[in-house]
Structure 1
Amino acid sequence: MTSRIDSSPTRIGSPIGIAAAEFRRFRGTMPRIALVFVALVPLIYGAIYLAANWDPYGRLANLPVAVVNQDKPATAQGRTVNAGTDFVNKLLAQNEFDWHQVDERTAQRGLADGDYYLVVTVPSTFSTDLVSGQTPDPVRAHIQVRRNDANGFVIGSITNTAQSKIEEAVDQSAVQSYFEVVFDNLSTIKSGLDDAADGSKQLDDGLASAHTASGKIATGAANLASGATDLQTGAKSLSDGLGTAETGADDLSDGLQTMTTKSSDLATGADQVATGTQQLHDKVVPPLTALQKALPQMQKNGTEAGDALNDIADTATGSSASISNDLDHADAELAQLQKQHPELADDPAFQRLSNRVDSASDRAGTIADAAQSNAELISTITTDAQQAGDDLSDSLADSKKNINDLNNGAHDVASGAHALNTAIGSASTGADSLATGVTTAANGASDLYAGATTLSDGADSLKTGTHDLDSALGRLSTGASTLHDQLAAAAKKVPAITPDQQDSAAQVLSSPAKVDMHVDNPATYYGRGLAPMFFSIALWVFGISAFLIIRPVVGRTLAGRANPVARYLGSWLPAGLLATIGGYLAISTVWLFLGLDPVRPLALYGLTALGAVAFSAIAHLLRTALGTPGSALLLVWLILQLASAGGTYPPAVLPRFFSAIHPYMPMSYLIDAFRVTISGGETAHLVQDVIVLASIAVVALALGAWVLIRKQRLSMRDLHPPLA
């Protein structure tokens, strides 16, 4: 045996031999699993914790953030600015967070309950403040951002990123709104200056037109003077010519005397013609009138005669009630009678009656034919008479009118002849006076016409020039007015500000908006914000380390026969007391030396005791049930809780696995409760957390008692040496 050991390549005393001997001690499945677990602890701790915190900023799109838009549109330079809506749309488009557009009440409630980690509020004066940069008195627009440290202090570092992004979005909206209006003003100013240039052009054109018109006025005035001279010359010629007009007037007087004699003879003949036409009218018109009146009655009588003959023909034959029809019926009845009484055929009276009926029937047909023929003849005659009567009536009317016109015309001619004779006599009386200056007046009138023409031309030129001058001066006035108005309007578009206002405007426009951060239940310090997580870690780590020196269950406990719950509580009580004392020492030390200053100190100490009880009960349960592997399980569970409990980053920005297990981690509720007692928050959250932690403690202790009862039944596995 000794020589075999000595011949081994690795001696017991060497380091390799010692290590190999130690490893050979771990035989069986569980010991080997324990060795593998120990080797994997760095990987488990490092990989899980890093996986949870690898890129929380890359998952900010999952962080619920509320945005409240209370902005009211503003008007600047005639343009409506809706900067609040534009800003919110930019935030939503950036997709930096999980934005929820809600009202103010919903946002504040959600922030208090932890449904939202930030609330971004756009005040009602946002648009008004932004466009104030275009006024002499600009002010900065404000965006309000609110967070609640009761939802986690580390969220503050994320909100700093959000704050810068929000300020950037606000500045973009502000600069865009400002420059849109500025460019509108530049366009308006350009338009005004263009109009002013047009007005000045009109002014220049008007002055040129006025100059041209003034030249036309001068020319027209010269022509008017020349025309006036010609008119004076013509008037002198007219005066000279009037003295020689008497010779022509003697001939006119003789001619008028002869016309007086002839017109008297014409008047006598006209009277004779008028007398004859009157006699013709009196003898012809009355019978024509009587004939015209009788024609309608004659036409009516012819029509009635034709209708009567047609009635006679219808009565004689051609209808069911005619004589011919009656005779036919009578003949048929006689034949029927003869058939019934054959002896009547030889009766002379019956034969005569039959012959007369036949003869009457023939005569009725003859009468009907004659009446029908005569009725058609009369109808033709009546139609022709009607047409002739109509034509004759028109001719009679025309003849009467012509005779009346002839008679009236003859009388008018007679009256006119007498009037002509009287007028010629009157004209003869004044012919001497008229004839005196006719010749001279004609010559003078010719000269006067020439001078008047020249005067008229000059007057026209003067009129045209005056009109052009007036129009040009009107355009000049309009152009000057337009130039004044447009330049004044353009000047108003450029604000006049003082040097102090310039400095203020420069500061506002360089940073037109400010994000105001409001923190509910502020943790103030980084350490104070992380205290809930580290206090929770400390209480959990106590459960891992305490049972390195404290036995979870002693033999007396297993062998006892008292109530198992009481025995189990007795075995757990040392760990629970030490955990509570250790928690109080940690909190008191941090408060005393680091300035923890909790807002609810009594609640903090009570919560610390509850956390110590719950976590030590969990650790005691696992060590009692599993032994040393229970501590390993506590370590793995700690790592999972560090990654998922939300002590650093909110569950919303954690990977999906860790955010999914967050509600099932005991540390999640203790961290949340510590935040409420240290920094402040909703009492309802604290009550909920306390209920959950108390339930965990009760369940862990109850399960421990059940495990104790199970362990009182020994098995072969219990005889194996424990894994130390």
Structure 2
Amino acid sequence: MTNPFRIAAGEFRRFRGPLPKLALVFVTIVPLLYGAIYLAANWDPYGRLSQLPVAIVNQDQPAEAQGRTITAGADFVTELKSEHTFDWHETDEATAQNGLRDGDYYLVVTVPQDFSADLVSGQTDHPERAGIEIRRNDANGFVIGTITSSAQTKIEQAVDQSAVKSYFDVVFENLSKIKTGLNDAADGAGQLDDGLTKAHTGSGKLAKGSSDLATGAQKLETGAATLSSGLDTASTGASELSDGLATMQDKSAKLADGADQVATGTQQLTDTVLPPLTQLQKSLPQLKKNAQSAGTALNDVADAAAGGTQSISDDLGQADTELARLETKYPELKNDPAFGRLSDRVGSASDRANKIAGAARQQADVVSGITDGVQNNITDLSGSITSAKKDLNQLNKGAHQVATGNHQLNTAIATAATGASSLSDGVDKASTGADKLHTGAKGLSDGADQLKTGSHDLDNALGQLSDGAGTLHDQLTTAAKKVPAVTGDQQDQAAQVLSSPAQVTMHVDNPATYYGRGLAPMFFSIALWVFGITAFLILRPFTGRTLLGRGSAFARQLGSWLPAGLLAVLGGLLTIGTIWLFLGLDPVRPMALIAITVLGAAAFSAVAQFLRMTLGTVGSAIMLVWLIVQLASTGGTYPAAVLPQFFARMNPYMPMTYLIDAFRVTISGGETAHLVRDVIVIGSSLVVALGLGTLTMIKKQRLAVGDLHPPLEPA
């Protein structure tokens, strides 16, 4: 049995009876069930968005603009309903939110109450961006967000166009006002030019005056510096004067006390000396007489003591002579102590009498001289006493005047000290003020310099402004002439164009057109792979007769694969035919689509047959895991560039990658080179799978004793 078709026919003959045949039919339509049912359900979901219930909540309040009532919210809702993009339901906020939560609505579009006011605010000095709130609930289906995301863009575009159109309506309505305003501005610019010319003349004078001011301010700064320095010196002198006067006040107080003491002393001197002087002056005549009497008496005493024969000295001389005669007469008296003492006493008395006499004469001479002097000067002494009394009275009076003057001096010095202290404080303040004056004068000088510079700059700038104002006048006049006078129809047309100045056109190469048509390549590929997993639930990857048969191993391998391959091709063609006929697949390369379907079905079924023949049930498990990996890495829904790095790297090594790409090229169009590459890779997969299956077939032909049933036992 080396004919592959006979091997395949033998496998099909196993299915006898209704149920086995029904199972065979079921395996054949697995690709149709998997691919067609899903694609039929999701072929064109965007084309049925008009059946999607969406709530509209209009809270907008009308606004006034340019004397018109703007109801942008109501107009917006009317416009949405007229487009029938969704199944619109206008309702209130509470009903809309409850419906979104319960799944009755898939979107809630809310127009806020300040929508109209914000739209027309573009015509004011404080424009505000109008807002529309769109809310969805992913608990009702996450994919609905992808489907409805375009609605947000369309709503934003509609709102922006409406706002811009309203703005340009106002702009064009005000063109005549703008033209009038430009003419008025041109006239104003002319007047400004005239005024600036005059201002330029005045600024020249200001520049000259500011130069003079700067010079004067410099002099003021110099004088203020000199004044500040002088007042600093004066402050030091005033402080020293104040200290000196304070010292003088203390000293003058002590001087006043001393003068008081002097006055008291002179008063006491006067009170003490004047009475004796007065008495002395009165006693001078009697003193003169007494002096004369004293002189006479002293002379008499001298004469009595040592004068002639009647004097004491003479008597004592005679007594001494008598004692000497007694001693001579009585020699024994010489040794008598009493006589000796008597003799000595008489001698001593004689000597003393002589001395007294001499002294009396001497004093008599003195008294005589005094008496003569008194007698000669008594008149002068009386005059001197009178003069001394007068001088003493004047001294006493002067001492009291000095005491009074010292008190007055002390009071005056105290007053002067207070004034000097005030002067010192005032000079200090004046010095501080002079410092501030100097600082201010310096600031004034700097400011005057800046004013000088600024005034010159102002003069230059005013000249430039005058030139600019003339140019502005000319340009505004020209601009006013260029402002067009448009009609109402022209305004409407221009506003519509400017509200949407650019039309963006999307050109799609090789368009898929429908959502399901774009997903068909991936689901066709998955369906053929799933067939390989399910087919060998009822088909055998090989039979025992195939192993025991003669002929080439490749022919036997081909015959073992052929039942699954034929059913896979039939199921694949049935799937694309059904989608083509009932959903409008409309491939751009019909024959290539059929060919790639046949090639893909053959390759995937060969891979499944090889794994099942080699590994048994484990091979089917590997097919399932491999399918899951390919779903994540082949780029059926998202391109490989956006996949995680692990799956992106696996993409080129997955056979489904090339079958999906081949289906895309044949259904929607694309590069022929890609299709050729895909055919080569898929065809190579078929050849490799059949080759590996042949090697497995050869290996399995080598039977071991354990492979025989019943096992052979030795005799």
Quickly name the TM-score band, shorter chain normalised.
Answer: 0.3 to 0.5
Larger C-alpha radius of gyration, 1 or 2?
2
TM-score (norm 2): 0.35
Q: Output the TM-score relative to the length of structure 1.
A: 0.35
